[in-house]
Structure 1
Amino acid sequence: MKDPEFWHNKWASNKIGFHLNEVNPLLIEYWNKTQPALTDRVFVPLCGKTEDLVWLAQRHESVQGVELSQIAVRSFFAEHFYTPTVIPVNGQHELYQFDELSIYTGDFFTAPLEQVDIVYDRAALIALPETMRQAYVERLLSLLTAGGRILLVTLDYCQHEMAGPPFSVSSLEVERLFKEHKVTQLHRDEADETHPKIYKKGLSRFAEEVWLIET
């Protein structure tokens, strides 16, 4: 990952406005579009300490995550009163395991991740600058089994009006990044003038989108 200190500093200073204290409503509404089965192995990249992990673990036998910040991973287990087994891996990572959950700490690009059937990406692609997205998508696709699916959440706004992260990833870019696969837009929520990104940040537009990628 480029500039890992940026994210380490965010967690160390508890500047984590990107973290949701509840399960993402978009996950609840659209997860069934992936046609999930109990035995499907699920992966959540750049997972932080999201509540979505618990929701997914209640529905699947294997949920795998990777997160750069050890603070985030330790906080996740502590806040849920889980006592994980912690295993050092190849000198660069640690694996935290508890029941259905397995979370690697460290770089997404070097973590020894297992093959999965479904990916849930709410905050990974939009956390990466444009120069890293192609490599991220290639690694992500390499982890998917044949017939794998991705539920992807993105943001769309005029990038020059606000510095990321989270970054804007347009529909054209989503289609380009996954051009070899079936891409379906499931949802687009266009913000009105009462949205904080409009009236506080002065953005001319702001939308949240949900995509289903089928490989």
Structure 2
Amino acid sequence: MDAEFWHSRWAENRIGFHLDDTNPMLEKYWSEVKPTREDAVLVPMCGKSVDLTWLATKHNKVVGIELSEIAVRAYFAEHFYTPLVIPMGNGQSIYEFDEITIHCGDFFMAKVEPVDIVYDRAALIAMPQEMRQSYTQKLLSMVKPGGRILLITLDYPQHEMDGPPFSVVKEEIEALFAGCDIRHLARDEADESHPRRKRGLTRFAEEAWVITVA
């Protein structure tokens, strides 16, 4: 899976992963990371998520990282924001408007000052297994010691459906974030009326975790 995969998804508007409303798990469990207004928040692979706007009502600095310029421009256009655009070279640019900054470009090339909190709903589960270790190492390099991560993952029989989004199970999370404090918050099992179950999955669950960086 490469950058072209995601560019084509956005170009063709095949963005079933996008939610039109704030993620219920974000609203329910954000307090678990003990946030303060002064905490800087990072949202990797943010797309055009309205979660950015929700977080900006609670924090003075919300930083997104997104590969697709289509997604970044759509976010600001749909909220009627006119951002300051700063070209950074190497295909990277920065969009700024009030509390929100989005780094547009390759996540692995992004230069972000260490943050206090990360909200990861759609990044880790978008990575095929062979990329997750590199992703996690890069992510942890962007978090201050003692920083917190609210991580949302999926658990389903991987052989029953091609990702993304991928299933990332407890044992892999523990291996990826070894050395961090990992706390499981919730598991929401989908019933047979869920769209993923209707497509043939025998089980499908969304899970929430709080990870505290050493």
TM-score range, shorter chain: over 0.9
* 2:177 is the alignment partner of 1:178: yes
Per the alignment, residue 128 of structure 1 pairs with 127
How far 1:48 moved relative to its partner?
Answer: 0.0
Residues 110-189 of structure 1: pairs in structure 2 closer than 5 A: 110-189=109-188
* 2:13 is the alignment partner of 1:11: no
Per the alignment, residue 30 of structure 1 pairs with 29
Per the alignment, residue 85 of structure 2 pairs with 86
Per the alignment, residue 52 of structure 1 pairs with 51
Runs of 4 or more, structure 1, over 4 Å off, are: none
Per the alignment, residue 64 of structure 1 pairs with 63
Q: Deviations over 1:174-210 (max 9, x none)?
A: 11111211101101011122212112x2111110000
How far 1:91 moved relative to its partner?
Answer: 2.9
* 2:206 is the alignment partner of 1:211: no
TM-score calculated relative to the size of structure 2: 0.98
Q: Distance in 2 between matches of 1:211 and 1:90?
A: 35
* 2:200 is the alignment partner of 1:202: yes
How far 1:146 moved relative to its partner?
Answer: 1.4
Q: Distance in 1 between matches of 2:102 and 2:155?
A: 29
Q: Distance in 1 between matches of 2:155 and 2:33?
A: 22
Matched to 1:77, the amino acid is F
Structure 1 spans left out of the alignment, 5+ residues:
none
Q: Distance in 2 between matches of 1:112 and 1:89?
A: 10
Structure 2 spans left out of the alignment, 5+ residues:
none
Quote the sequence identity (%): 59
How far 1:92 moved relative to its partner?
Answer: 2.3
Q: Distance in 1 between matches of 2:197 and 2:66?
A: 30
Q: Distance in 2 between matches of 1:97 and 1:172?
A: 38
Matched to 1:117, the amino acid is D
How far 1:112 moved relative to its partner?
Answer: 1.4
RMSD value, Cα: 0.8
How far 1:90 moved relative to its partner?
Answer: 3.0
Q: Deviations over 1:32-72 (max 9, x none)?
A: 00000010000000000000000001110100011000000
TM-score calculated relative to the size of structure 1: 0.97
Matched to 2:202, the amino acid is S
